Chain A
C-alpha cells in the first residue's frame, strides 16, 4: 500500500517536473548590483517576459565586494546562473579563458556597439567578444545646490576655484565641505584618484602610454593626483579615517555635506534619499580653458555561462539586452548607468543628463588601472586603493606612494621593467 503510494507520488512529481520544463525556461542572472534588485524585478524582467513568453528570468545578486569570489566558486562547482554580469577587463577575460563564458561574436546584436564599448570584454587582440556591454559610469562631483546658493558659491571649473569653494564652505562651518571617508579605501581610489586623475595624465593618452611602458607611475602627471588628494584631507569630515562608504552617502543625502565625490551610479540612490536639489560638476581642470578629461568607465556587461542548459534562451535574452529597447529601459530605470549601445537614449533625469552631457565637452577615458595592468601580483588596482587612502591621510608622501606602485607594477609587467 505504502509503496504504491510512493510510486504514484514519484510519478506525479516527475510529470510536474517535465511539464514545467516544457513550458518555461528559467534563466538565472548572477550580478553584484544588489542595489538594483527592485529595478530588475519591477521593470527589466517584466518588460522582457512580456515580449518573450516561455522564458522566465531570476535576478540573484550578491554583495559587490564578494561577487568575484562567489561567482568563481559557483562556476567551478557548476552551480552558477545562466547569465553572468561581467566585470570589465581582467576578471571576465580570465573567466572566458577558463571556458566559463561563451563566445558571443556570432550574435548579430553585437553590431549595436562601438569597438570602444566592446573593448572591456574582448580578448587582447579583439578576436572574441564574450559579454554584451550594458552600461558605463561617469565620475564627477555631485553637490548640494541649496548649500551652494546659501553660501553664494558658483560651480567650480578650475582646481583653484574648487579649493576656494571648499575653503568657503569650511569657514562657514554649517556644512562638511566634502563627504568622503578612507575606511573602505576604494572610494579614495575610484572617486578620488580615478575621478580627478584623467585631467593630469590626459585621459587615454596617459593610460595607453602607461600600458605601453612609455610613461611610469612615478612621472609627474601620475604623482600629481596624489598631491591633490593630499589636500582633500582638510575638507573631509571629522574622523574621516573611519568613515565608511555608506556613512559618506548618508552624510551627503542628509544634507550635512556640500560636495560628494561621486560616480554616476549614485544618482538613483541619491534621488530617493535626498530632499534637496542636487547638481553635478566635472572634475576641475588645472587652468581655465584646458581640455577636460572624464572617466567614462565601461563598468557592466552581461555574458552567458558556457555550460548553461538553456543556451538559446540565454542568447535571446542577451540579444534583447543589446537592443535599443533595453538601453532605454535601463538608462532611465537606472539613471547614472549610461547605456553603451549606439542607439541614442533620451535621459529623463536632470542629474544623469548633466553627467552624460560631459561626453560632448570632454575627452572620455576609462579607469587607468583596469585594463591589463591589474593582472599580476601585486594587483595594481588594490594597491591603488591603499595608496590613494594613504595619500589623503598623509601617512606617506605622494612620491613614496608612486614609487611603491611603480615597483609593484614593474615586478610583473614586462613593458614597465
Chain B
C-alpha cells in the first residue's frame, strides 16, 4: 500500500525546455499579438482594440497592399506545390531505383543548396540571371536561344515566378530526402507480391509506392505551406524590402518587415507591423488546422 512515488525526474527534465520555449517562443508570440491591439498617438501607446486590423483589411491603401502580398504568397506556395514537391518525389523515386549508380553523389548534390544561406542563394542567382554579367544569357546564346532571355527579376510578370523557382531549386532536397526515406522503408515483400500479381515498373509506383508514401507527402505539403507563408529572406536578399518591381514580389513577410521596421523615409510602425504578423499567424494556423483535421485524420494508413 505504498503511495505512488512522485516522479521528480519528469519535471526536472521538462523544466529547461519549457522555460526556454516559453521565453523565446510563447511570450514573444503573445506579446506580438498584444502589440497589434495598440497604436501610437502623440508618443503615447494607446489601446485601440481591433482598429489596426480594420485598417489593414478595409482601408483601401493598406488592404490593397495586404491582398497583393497575400495573393503573391499563394502564387509562391502554388509554384512550390506544383514544382518542388512533384520534382522532389520524382527524384526520390529515381534515387531509390536499385540499379542507379552514383546515387549517393546525386543525393548530396541535390541536397547541398538546402544548407546554403538565403543571402548566398539570392546573390548567386541574381548574378546568374543578370543581363549584364550573368551566365544565363550567354548560355542561352550558346544554344541559339538568346531570344528567350529576359531580365526576369526586373519584369513584373516574371519576377515572382522566377524567385519561386529559385526557392524550389534551393529546397527541392527536402521533399526528396523525406520521400526517399519513406520509399526505402517499403518492404521488399510487398513489391515482390505485386510483381507476382503482374504489377511492375511505373504501375508499381502509382499503385503500391505512392499510396504508402502519401502521409509523407502530406507532411511535406504542410511544411511547404508554413515555410512559404513565413518566407521573407530570399525576397529580401534578392529584391530588397520594397519587393520590386512595383511590389510584384511582395509577400507577407516583406510587407510585415517594411511596415514594422520602416524603409527609407517610411517610418516603422510596430503596431501595424504586429497586426500583419498576427494576420500571418492566423493564416498559417487556419491552414495547419485544415490540414490536421480535414486531411490527416482521413488519410488511410497501411500497416507495413
Binding site for B on A (CB under 8 A): 65, 68-69, 72-73, 87, 89-91, 94, 97-99, 181-186, 237-244, 247, 251, 369-370, 374, 377-379, 381-382, 385-386, 389-390, 393, 395, 408, 411
Q: Once the chains bind, are A242 and B131 in contact (CB under 8 Å)?
A: yes
Q: Once the chains bind, are A98 and B241 in contact (CB under 8 Å)?
A: no
Please tell me if B74 contacts chain A, counting CB pairs below 8 Å.
Answer: no
Q: Once the chains bind, are A241 and B132 in contact (CB under 8 Å)?
A: no
Please tell me if B242 contacts chain A, counting CB pairs below 8 Å.
Answer: yes
Cα-based distance from A301 to B178 in the complex (angstroms): 55
- Cβ 8 A contact of A68, one of B43, B150, B267: B267
Q: Knowing A239-B132, A240-B154, A242-B129, say if A408 contacts B265 (CB, 8 Å).
A: no
Cα-based distance from A244 to B137 in the complex (angstroms): 16
Q: Please give, as numbers and ranges, the residues of chain B lying within 8 Å of A90 by CB-CB distance.
A: 265, 267
Q: What number of residue pairs across chains A and B have CB atoms under 8 A from each other?
A: 120
Can you offer 15 A-B residue contacts whose CB atoms are under 8 A?
A65-B240, A68-B261, A68-B263, A73-B261, A98-B43, A239-B130, A240-B154, A241-B151, A242-B130, A242-B131, A377-B62, A382-B264, A385-B242, A386-B246, A389-B244
CB-based closest 10 A-B pairs: A239-B131, A241-B154, A69-B261, A242-B154, A242-B151, A239-B151, A379-B266, A381-B265, A374-B265, A241-B151
Q: Please give, as numbers and ranges, the residues of chain A lying within 8 Å of B155 by CB-CB distance.
A: 241-242
- Cβ 8 A contact of A69, one of B150, B151, B246, B263: B263
Q: Please give, as numbers and ranges, the residues of chain B lying within 8 Å of A379 by CB-CB distance.
A: 264-266
Query: Which residues of B from 100 to 147 have beta carbons under 8 Å from A?
Result: 126, 129-133, 137
Please tell me if B86 contacts chain A, counting CB pairs below 8 Å.
Answer: no
Chain B nearest CB, measured from A369 CB (Å): 7
Q: Please give, as numbers and ranges, the residues of chain A lying within 8 Å of B245 by CB-CB distance.
A: 182-183, 185, 241, 386, 389-390, 393
- Cβ 8 A contact of A381, one of B131, B156, B264: B264
Question: Considering residues B62, B156, B244, which has the most beta carbons from chain A within 10 angstroms of its beta carbon?
Answer: B244
- The closest CB in chain A to the CB of B152 belongs to A242
Question: Considering residues B241, B265, B267, which has the most beta carbons from chain A within 10 angstroms of its beta carbon?
Answer: B265
Cα-based distance from A97 to B267 in the complex (angstroms): 13
Please tell me if B281 contacts chain A, counting CB pairs below 8 Å.
Answer: no
- B265-287 near A? 1/0 per residue, CB < 8 Å: 11110000000000000000000
Cα-based distance from A378 to B267 in the complex (angstroms): 11
Q: Knowing A239-B131, A239-B151, A243-B132, say if A72 contacts B61 (CB, 8 Å).
A: no
Please tell me if B160 contacts chain A, counting CB pairs below 8 Å.
Answer: no
- Cβ 8 A contact of B130, one of A72, A91, A186, A247: A247
Q: Please give, as numbers and ranges, the residues of chain B lying within 8 Å of A89 by CB-CB distance.
A: 265
Q: Once the chains bind, are B242 and A395 in contact (CB under 8 Å)?
A: no
Q: Once the chains bind, are A240 and B263 in contact (CB under 8 Å)?
A: no
Question: Considering residues A65, A241, A247, which has the most beta carbons from chain B within 10 angstroms of its beta carbon?
Answer: A241
- Cβ 8 A contact of B156, one of A97, A244, A378, A395: A395
Query: Which residues of B from 174 to 229 have beta carbons under 8 Å from A?
Result: none
- The closest CB in chain B to the CB of A378 belongs to B61
Chain A nearest CB, measured from B239 CB (Å): 8
Q: Please give, as numbers and ranges, the residues of chain A lying within 8 Å of B267 by CB-CB distance.
A: 68, 72, 90-91, 94
Q: Once the chains bind, are B244 and A242 in contact (CB under 8 Å)?
A: no
Q: Please give, as numbers and ranges, the residues of chain A lying within 8 Å of B149 by CB-CB distance.
A: 239
Q: Once the chains bind, are A184 and B43 in contact (CB under 8 Å)?
A: no
- The closest CB in chain A to the CB of B245 belongs to A389
Q: Once the chains bind, are B241 and A65 in contact (CB under 8 Å)?
A: yes
Chain B nearest CB, measured from A174 CB (Å): 16
- Cβ 8 A contact of A408, one of B61, B246, B264: B61
Q: Please give, as numbers and ranges, the residues of chain A lying within 8 Å of B241 by CB-CB distance.
A: 65
Q: Please give, as numbers and ranges, the residues of chain B lying within 8 Å of A239 by CB-CB distance.
A: 130-132, 137, 149-151, 154
Q: Once the chains bind, are B244 and A251 in contact (CB under 8 Å)?
A: no
- The closest CB in chain B to the CB of A369 belongs to B265
Please tell me if B247 contacts chain A, counting CB pairs below 8 Å.
Answer: yes
Chain A nearest CB, measured from B97 CB (Å): 39
Q: Once the chains bind, are B268 and A68 in contact (CB under 8 Å)?
A: yes
Q: Knowing A239-B132, A386-B244, say if A65 contacts B263 (CB, 8 Å).
A: yes
Q: Once the chains bind, are B246 and A237 in contact (CB under 8 Å)?
A: no
